[in-house]
Amino acid sequence: MKTFADKVAVVTGAGSGIGRALAQRFAAEGMRLVLADIDGEALIETSETLSAEWGYVRLVVADVSTAEGAQRIADEAWDRFGGVHILCNNAGVACAGAPVWEQTPETWSRVLGVNLWGLIHGVRAFVPRMLADGDEGHIVNTASAAGLRTGPFVSPYYASKHAAVAFTEALHFDLLLAESKLKVSALCPAFVKTRIADHSPGFPDAMRARVESGMEPADIAQRVFEAVRDEKFWILTHSEFDSLIRARCEGMLAGENPVPHVFRRPE
């Protein structure tokens, strides 16, 4: 996609962090925006940071872990603007640090509900209508560097993000075989200054510190914008994790047993 002005972008998880930064970056291009989040007050805060013209922004309070929530966002987009050109399935949550056997069914349901089912519901609600419209477009699914490597203590998060990467790659292949004008990107950041810890009960303090000192969301948004413009699938934003990803893949091919990158439970 080379032109952005007056086109329509949808961003979920737009109340803070990467979602808010994406909204700001697209607004700077003169796009019309549909911004969704489960937190209505946070959405209003995001809207107040935008340079978009009055009438160019629609706010939708919705839970993307439900099909109804995703459908409501899509309906608002088509009712208000008549179509969608960029869909950012960005909403995400993390979890407390604990071994696999201590992670509760409620935690698994919540993390998979947002991080994986949020993508599934988003694609099902938007992509058929985007295909029917026949315009060029782009879907950006927020996964994580945790979707390209693994480790101990946050198994629901790792599992959800690995599934998100696989789902996004499969979507890419399906759209290629359909000879569609729609392109796809998998966003795989590591630590970013977001409020994910605030929305994740029991989030480990050690990881919270790394989030608070992480990359600025605006830098992630710029990488996303460039990937959409240049039709790039992979958006890997933290080069310091390349060696971990490479070691995992090489160890797999060599038949080596996985080795954890941390050796004690986070406090």
Residues with Cβ within 8 Å of 168's Cβ and at least 6 positions away in sequence, in order, are: 119, 141, 143, 184, 185, 186
Instruction: For 19-34, give the secondary structure using H, E and C.
Output: HHHHHHHHHHCCCEEE
End-to-end CA distance of the chain: 45
Q: Tell me which H or E stretch contains 137.
A: strand 137-142
CA distances to 64, 142, 145, 177 from 118, rounded to whole Å, are: 5, 10, 18, 24
- The structure tokens listed for 70 are 């995703």
Which of 4, 26, 153, 157 is catalytic? The answer is 157
**Side chain identity at 93, as an amino acid letter?**
V
Strand 8-12 with 32-37, pairing: parallel
Q: Is 157 in the active site?
A: yes
What distance in Å separates the CA atoms of residue 252 and residue 249, rounded to the nearest whole number?
A: 5
Burial tier of 254 (Cβ tally within 10 Å: 0-12, 13-18, 19+):
exposed
Which residues are part of the catalytic machinery?
157
